[in-house]
Amino acid sequence: MKKSSFKIKEYRTQFIQELTPIYDAGEAESFFYLILEEKHQLKRIDLALHPDLVFSEEEIVVWNSILEQLKQEIPVQYLLGKTSFYGLDFEVNENVLIPRPETEELVEWILESQKSKVESQNIRILDIGTGSGCIAISLAKNIPNAQVFAIDVSEKALATAKTNAENNSVNVTFINQNILETEDLRQQFDIIVSNPPYVRNLEKEEIKKNVLDNEPHLALFVEDNDALIFYKKIAELAQENLSKNGQLYFEINQYLGKEMVDLLEKMNFKNIQLRKDIYGNDRMLSCHCEERSNRI
Ligand code: GLN
């Protein structure tokens, strides 16, 4: 019996139509091409050059299942199991946050400030709450000879991060540890960086359904009345374990820029710089600590 097939161009029209009540047409179209490239290694240009290309019946079953899941607002990155961050491929799943463009900006900032330093090659870097490993791995990839360490409380997240390090051919030492229960980092680091959970429960309403329903809450949320809990702890550890001239970097909650600066000033951190992301929100911060005496 001859199997039926479907013209890809026609399927595309239907796919976009079915998604447009939920996503705008541009986004729906971008999903289509992302999946086409990932599943069939075909690009937009291939479809233009070969308008008669078809999907087999089996392929349509797969596409329809993806379409259904997109309708339920499951992020396309989880459906494909991968995303790209700072030009590198990362495996992602429900145990890790999908890396965000804001976090790429933080990586860019760190790399920029390293460039000007002569001694930048042999530095030691620690990423706290590494998740998919996106920060640690992109720093390892771009700072040759840096020794990179990464901590996460979630074993499942670390398994994903390890795969990502292998796939990107970098050496990162992963440590399964709860930072809130850590008393001493035991070693000195030249850079400590963290994108810890920072979304307050009171901000839940602002969070999109696709994030809320699918991404790990462990990596996102903090209590309203103790929103800076991770930053306080990490800054305390940094006071002891940041090397002389070492630098601390944070991704932060856009509404808590001032509170973050106050906190770090009180703890006697120096040269505190607050930066906005491409959307104009206070999103990242860097500082260093010169003196070790004035702890709170
Ligand atoms: N920026 C992420 C979001 O908006 C939150 C990341 C985090 O809590 N560290 O969902």
Asked whether residue 81 is domain-assigned, the answer is no
DSSP-assigned states of every residue in 191-245: EEEE----EEGGGGGGS-HHHHHHS-GGGTEE-GGGTTHHHHHHHHHHHHHEEEE
Q: Are residues 42 and 121 in the same domain?
A: no
pLDDT of 117: 72
Whole-angstrom Cα distance, residue 111 to residue 106? 9
pLDDT at 3: 58
Q: Is the CB of 100 under 6 A from ligand 1?
A: yes
Domain stop point among 72, 103, 122: 72
Q: What is the CATH number of the domain that holds 220?
A: 3.40.50.150
In a domain, 281, yes or no: yes
Residue 257 Cβ contacting ligand 1 at under 6 Å: no
Structure tokens at 161: 């991060």
For residue 78, being part of any structural domain is answered with: no
Tokens 């239907």 label which residue?
Answer: 14
CA distance 242 to 255: 27
Is residue 87 assigned to a domain?
no
Same domain, 57 and 133: no
Residues 17 and 124 in one domain: no
Amino acid 210 reads: N
Here the tokens at position 283 are: 């999103």
Q: From 15, 40, 72, give the residue that closes a domain.
A: 72
> Quick one: 152 and 29 in the same domain?
no
Asked if the structure places residue 82 within a domain, the reply is no
Residue 1, pLDDT score: 46
Same domain, yes or no, for 49 and 132?
Answer: no
Instruction: Give residue 20 CA to ligand 1 midpoint distance, Å.
Output: 26
Asked whether residue 1 is assigned to any structural domain, the reply reads no
Which range marks the domain in which residue 247 is found?
A: 95-289
Atom number, ligand 1, closest to the C-alpha of residue 251: 9
Same domain, 210 and 281: yes
| 111, 215: one domain | yes
- 87: annotated binding-site residue? no
61-69: long-range pairs with CB below 8 Å, 24+: 63/11, 63/15, 63/35, 66/35, 67/15, 67/18, 67/19
Q: Residues 22, 102: one domain?
A: no
Same domain? For 141 and 248 the reply is yes
Predicted pLDDT of residue 118: 62
The answer to whether residues 15 and 110 belong to one domain is: no
Q: Hey, how many other C-beta atoms are within 10 angstroms of the C-beta on 54?
A: 15
Q: pLDDT tens digits, the chain, 296 residues: what are they?
A: 445 778 999 999 999 999 998 999 999 999 999 999 999 999 999 999 999 999 999 999 999 999 999 999 999 999 999 999 999 999 999 999 999 999 999 999 999 998 877 665 689 999 999 999 999 999 999 998 899 999 999 999 999 999 999 999 999 999 999 999 999 999 999 999 999 999 999 999 999 889 999 999 999 999 999 999 999 999 999 999 999 889 999 999 999 999 999 999 999 999 999 999 999 999 999 999 875 544 44
Residue 81, annotated ligand binder?
no
Residues 123 and 22 in one domain: no
d(CA 273, CA 128): 20
Closest atom of ligand 1 to CA, residue 100: 1
Q: Could you tell me which residues are beta bridge partners of residue 124?
A: 147
Total domains present in the chain: 2
Residue-level pLDDT at 119:
62
Residues 154 and 235 in one domain: yes
Q: Is residue 29 part of a domain?
A: yes
Q: Considering the domain boundaries, does residue 79 fall inside one?
A: no
Backbone angles phi, psi at 258, to 5 degrees: -65, -45
Whether pTM > 0.85 for this model: the answer is yes
Whether 197 lines ligand 1, by a CB cut-off of 6 Å, is yes
